[in-house]
Amino acid sequence: MMAFLKLLARNQLALAGLVVMALVVLLALITPLLPLADPNATNTPARFTEPFSDGALLGTDHLGRDLLSRLMWGTRLSLAVGFAAAVIAATIGAAIGIIAGYYGGRTDNVIMRVVDVLMAFPYILLALAIVAALGPGLMNALIAVAAVNIPFFARNIRGITVGIANKEFVDAARLAGLSNTKIILTEILPNVIPVIVIAMSTTIGWMILETAGLSFLGLGSQPPVADLGSMLGEARSALITNPHTSIVPGVMILIIVMAINLLGDGVRDALDPRLKSGALSRPLPATLVDRTRQPGGPADETALLHLSDLQTQFHVGARIFRAVGGVDLRIQPGECLGLIGESGSGKSVTALSIMGLVASPPGKITGGSVFYRGEDLIGAPYEKLRSLRGRRVAYIFQDPLATLHPLYTVGEQLIEAVRSHYNTPKDEARAHAIDLLKSVRIPNAEDRVDNYPHELSGGMRQRVGIAMALANDPDVIIADEPTTALDVTVQAQILTLLDDLRRERDVAILFITHDFGVVAQLCDRVAVMYAGRIVEQGTTDEILSHPAHPYTSRLMACVPELGGGQRRLEAIPGLPPVVDNLPEGCAFADRCNKARDACRQGDIPLDTLGQTRRVRCIDPETEEATA
């Protein structure tokens, strides 16, 4: 509760709303004590006095009544009526909702059908019908406004109650032999009341507006007593000659409703956990670049892609997560490089950083370079990045259901991939799309092209994902765990397909995975990633047969081998470190059984080991293995 109030207080607009509302309520409460003129005392000779004149601060109305006094009394009445309507609607609505939700079955069914029908009315029609039946008058307007809002409360509270009625503590109360009434009063109601209060606070402004509206139409408060709505209604005839009589009550309604809305927004925001975590911020077209460190380099001109000292961070509140902490990778034309690591090791962020696809906020590239054919892409203009995305550097993502647009056919999405870069006529692009689907071995490509993603199986969807990556014959495909979401037989098919395609088309692949089996099947070289850095790099054969870094060898010890049933699978103790507070020295030291003091001091470089290998360890294992 305190945390909630603190959050609310931090929202300045909500605070302003609260202050204004408190002030208005206070004034309304003390109105009878203030030295105001009689709100209903007419003084026709002094009608339509201008505001700020002697004896009438806000002027007088068409009968010479003091506007300030009428405004104060009117506000008092409007607030009281709005509040009463909210309380009545909330009480009756909640009672109905709780009964429907708690008893369920037929009771629930009948009640909810009636609620449905009531909600099928445009709300004011119902209010008008009720006022028509009861006759005009403030009390009847109040009843009408309360009545039309009952279904809203009933439906909301019913939903909450259904959730609570199936909880264990309610079952326990039933087993203890408590009566239904008692359970509702002692177990259900206390849990529902906060929801009722919040729903009430968000609708009270609405109720004030509605009763004012009915009064404005002449169906609410009757002369001489006036609430804000009927003041406005009476002033309408003098709108052109004496606008101040309309403006005074109108602005008051505006102030009240605005203050309540600000407060309501503040309450809603304070209760929404997504806002605090920044989960509702919009990712920019390309990842923000804020290179405080020198760009990496120099570029390796022979490599297709050269990542040099690449650093990507996530800034969440005061915490900085160094997801990628200086990664060096080279991908030669036509080669398949595997990037392997546990979840959270930074491999996906590395892959997304290449084309600036890390969501920012909160992501940010803070250092290093990504050279594409010798040209640094970090900090390149958006249009440059866009023209390379999908045309020269393409992506395949993990879950093909979430990564394909659900409302466009696969054909439309393939055509778009082509037409984002080339002015291909639509029919030509469509023919190309069908060819692409055939090349990823989708049967009946001519029909499938018009399917929506949800109409395809998981494996088919991933084939579409691959077809999309191939659409513009890229130089390199970055495949971010493309088989993880698929079942094993489909996995194997997709891997074979990727392997065939890369040999046919001579396209380089950066293959991100946590699976050594996949690496063995597909990759020429492997880089092992831990806590945002590369800890070992080499050819697939070397690394699989003689892992040099203790982490690699421990990781491989976790992989079950077919037919190797006798071997004990060794889990690595502990968890990967959280990357907002990395220890000095080797990030793996805490989990490594060879760790010594030297491991925890200074930066440990990625040293070369033999001709093709590099390892970030002061005590690599291969020396013994090769010795």
Q: State the Cα–Cα distance between residues 613 and 458, nearest whole angstrom.
A: 37
Per CB under 8 A, the list member of 1, 133, 488, 571 interacting with another protein is 133
CA distances in angstroms from 147 to 90, 127, 144, listed in the order given: 10, 8, 5
> CA angle, 503 as apex, 497 and 508 as ends, to 5°?
95
Assess contact for 329 and 536: CB atoms under 8 A: no
Instruction: Identify which of residues 356 and 550 has a Cβ nearer to another protein in the complex.
Output: 356
* Type of residue at 256: I
Choice between 188 and 501, CB closer to another protein:
501
Closest CB to another protein among 501 and 599? 501
User: Could you say whether residue 423 binds another protein (CB under 8 A)?
Assistant: no
Which one of 2, 3, 240, 318 is in contact with another protein (CB under 8 A)? Answer: 240
**Cβ proximity of 456 and 447 under 8 Å:** no
Q: Which of 42, 91, 202, 420 binds another protein (CB under 8 A)?
A: 420
User: For residue 560, what is the DSSP state?
Assistant: -
Q: Among residues 124, 320, 520, 572, which is the contact residue for another protein, using CB under 8 A?
A: 124
Compute the half-sphere exposure of residue 77: CA atoms within 13 Å on the CB side of its CA. 26
Shortest reach from residue 67's CB to another protein, in Å: 16
Contact residue for another protein among 182, 293, 454, 596 (CB under 8 A): 454
> Segment contacting another protein (CB under 8 A): 91-99, 380-388, 515-523, 534-542?
380-388
In contact, 301 and 56? CB cutoff 8 Å: no
Contact 123, 144 (CB under 8 A): no
Q: Does 120 bind another protein (CB under 8 A)?
A: yes
Burial class from Cβ neighbours inside 10 Å (0-12, 13-18, 19+) for residue 34 reads exposed
CA distances to 82, 153, 279 from 268, rounded to whole Å, are 21, 17, 15
Of residues 42 and 261, the one with the C-beta less far from another protein: 261
Min dist CB 540 to another protein, Å, is 26
| The one-letter amino acid at 551 | Y
DSSP-assigned letters across all residues of 506-533: T-EEEEEES-HHHHHHH-SEEEEEETTE
Select the residue interacting with another protein from 402, 569, 578, 625 (CB under 8 A): 402
Answer yes or no: are the C-beta atoms of 420 and 481 closer than 8 Å. Answer: no
Q: Which is nearer to another protein, 99 or 357 (CB)?
A: 357
Instruction: Indicate the residue among 64 and 136 with the shorter CB distance to another protein.
Output: 136
Among 81, 394, 466, 512, binds another protein (CB under 8 A): 394
* Residue closer to another protein, measured from CB, 242 or 622: 242
Other beta carbons within 10 Å of 486: 21
Q: Which region among 233-241, 426-434, 494-502, 601-609 touches another protein (by CB under 8 A)?
A: 233-241
Among 28, 96, 143, 212, binds another protein (CB under 8 A): 212
State which of positions 332-361 bind another protein (CB under 8 A). 352, 355, 357, 359
Say how many residues make up the chain. Answer: 627
Minimum CB separation of residue 76 from another protein in Å reads 18
- Residue 61 contacts residue 39 (beta carbons within 8 Å): no
- Residue 129, interface with another protein (CB under 8 A)? yes
Query: Does 261 sit near another protein (CB under 8 A)?
Result: yes
Considering the complex, state which of residue 80 and residue 118 has its C-beta at the smaller distance from another protein: 118
Q: Can residue 326 be called a binding residue for another protein (CB under 8 A)?
A: no
| Smallest separation, CB 128 to another protein (Å) | 5
Q: How far is the CB of 230 from another protein (least distance, A)?
A: 12
Helix (H, G, I), strand (E, B) or coil at 607: strand
Question: What is the closest distance, in whole angstroms, from the C-beta atom of residue 48 to another protein in the complex?
Answer: 15
Tell whether residue 23 is a contact of another protein (CB under 8 A): no
Neighbours of 611 (CB within 10 A): 8
Q: Which residues pair with 396 in a beta bridge?
A: 479
Binding residue for another protein, selected from 452, 499, 521, 557, defined by CB under 8 A:
452
Select from 90-98, 236-244, 540-548, 590-598 the region that touches another protein (CB under 8 A): 236-244
d(CA 618, CA 478): 31
Nearest to 114 by CA among 158, 144, 161: 158
Q: Give the list of residues 6+ apart from residue 276 with CB closer than 8 angstroms, or none.
A: 7
Burial class from Cβ neighbours inside 10 Å (0-12, 13-18, 19+) for residue 562 reads: exposed
C-alpha–C-alpha distance, residues 531 and 580, integer Å: 10
- Distances from the Cα of 116 to the Cα of 55, 101, 512, angstroms: 54, 15, 51
In angstroms, give the least distance from the CB of 216 to another protein.
5
Q: In terms of CB distance, is 233 or 341 closer to another protein?
A: 233
DSSP, collapsed to helix, strand or coil, labels residue 487 as coil
Is there binding between residue 499 and another protein (CB under 8 A)?
A: no
Please give the backbone phi and psi of residue 495, each rounded to the nearest 5 degrees, phi first: -65, -45
Residue found under tokens 């008008």: 128
Q: Of the candidates 90, 99, 131, 495, which one interacts with another protein according to CB under 8 A?
A: 131
Nearer of residues 88 and 143 to another protein, judged by Cβ: 143
- Selected binder of another protein within 253, 440, 495, 548 (CB under 8 A): 253
Over the window 586 to 605, marking each residue x when it contacts another protein by CB under 8 A and - when it does not, the resulting string is --------------------
What Rg, from alpha-carbon coordinates, does the chain have? 35
Residue 332 Cβ, how far from another protein at the closest point, in Å?
A: 22
CA dihedral sign of residues 144, 150, 151, 156? positive
Among the listed residues 407, 488, 562, 571, the single contact to another protein using CB under 8 A:
407
Nearer to another protein, 388 or 440 (CB): 388
Kindly tell me which of 212 and 523 has the beta carbon lying closer to another protein.
212
d(CA 57, CA 36): 11
Binding span for another protein by CB under 8 A among 38-46, 56-64, 103-111, 274-282: 274-282
* Out of 166, 277, 281, 302, the residue judged to bind another protein by CB under 8 A: 281
